[in-house]
Amino acid sequence: MKKLMAANWKMYKTRAEAKATAEELVSRIKGKLPEDREVVIAAPYTALATVGAVLEGNAGCSLSAENLYPAEQGAFTGEISPAMLKDVGCTYALAGHSERRSIIGETDELVGEKVAFGLANGLSMILCIGETIDERKAGEVQKVIDRQLEAGLKDVPADFVPETVVVAYEPVWAIGTGEVAGEDEIVEAHGFVRKKLENIFPEKASEIRILYGGSVKPGNCAQIIALDNVDGVLVGGASLEGESFSQIALA
Ligand code: PEP
């Protein structure tokens, strides 16, 4: 299984800035990315074509959207379909990032529709899950993970290819805060995710990648990806500079 090192640029970067960052990243990892590593950049819609052009032809590098809408086309002002994303070179999309759940108000059900529709339309999907600090304090980590996985994976087509479904466990209190989850907390949560995946997809669960996200940096990435059931990382802040994300990609 290839470790997946994913960048999430959120609502940052003009096209020129995105191009410069992607070029710096590519120049730093070119010829050095191990066979068992994959790098994905999730960029804002306006920068997708630009970043895609930089990544093109670079083995192990793929382009992702940060979101999608679960319909082929139609009167959905402001939304983007999987076909449009594939048209600009995306092979991945995120679904259910905590910022979309908490700021935009996406429900577990809508996130599940996005995952299923993206997969059915040829994208690999990174389903983001994770508890808030209040939920952790209330002892509800497993309950939240269980609910978000159940709804997020509800309509995954039965014949899905395991590499195309990725779960990113991102405790909300660790996103953009500089506070990384402890190793025990990561191992416990990822172990629980794996068990749940085994319940849902008994034959494919071991091949589904589980990423950790939450204040991953060049200095802590190697320890995190060495933990049990950690198959890569999803990185926000530290992915915005080509140099720091290249260190993470090669960690
Ligand atoms: C994220 O946006 O998914 C994320 C994990 O952000 P950060 O790395 O900045 O915590």
pLDDT score at 229: 98
Whether the per-residue pLDDT at 193 is higher than 90: the answer is yes
* Distance from Cα 6 to the centre of ligand 1, integer Å: 10
Mutational test site, ligand 1, from 13, 127, 212, 234, max ligand atoms within 8 Å of CB: 234
pLDDT in tens, 80-121: 999 999 999 999 999 999 999 999 999 999 999 999 999 999
Catalytically active residues, by annotation? 97, 170
pLDDT score at 201: 95
Per DSSP, the residues of 86-129 read: HHTTEEEEEE--HHIIIII---HHHHHHHHHHHHHTT-EEEEEE
Q: Are strands 3-8 and 124-129 parallel, antiparallel or unpaired?
A: unpaired
* Distance from Cα 215 to the centre of ligand 1, integer Å: 6
pLDDT in tens, 19-28: 999 999 999 9
pLDDT in tens, 124-167: 999 999 999 999 999 999 999 999 999 999 999 889 999 999 99
Atom of ligand 1 minimally distant from the CA of 178: 10
pLDDT score at 158: 84
The domain ranges of the chain are: 3-249
Give the DSSP letter of residue 182. Answer: P
* Distance from Cα 202 to the centre of ligand 1, integer Å: 30
Q: Indicate the Cα dihedral angle 238, 241, 246, 248, nearest 10°.
A: 0
Mutational test site, ligand 1, from 10, 166, 179, 215, max ligand atoms within 8 Å of CB: 215
Ligand 1 pocket residues where CB is under 6 Å: 8, 170, 175-176, 213-216, 234-238
Name which residue sits closest to atom 2 of ligand 1, judged by CA: 236
* Distance from Cα 119 to the centre of ligand 1, integer Å: 24
Pick the CATH number of 3-249 from 3.10.300.10, 3.30.930.10, 3.20.20.70, 3.30.70.260: 3.20.20.70
* Distance from Cα 224 to the centre of ligand 1, integer Å: 14
Could you give the 3-state DSSP secondary structure of residue 32? Answer: coil
Name which residue sits closest to atom 8 of ligand 1, judged by CA: 236
Name which residue sits closest to atom 3 of ligand 1, judged by CA: 236
Residue 204, amino acid: K
pLDDT in tens, 196-239: 999 999 999 999 999 999 999 999 999 999 999 999 999 999 99
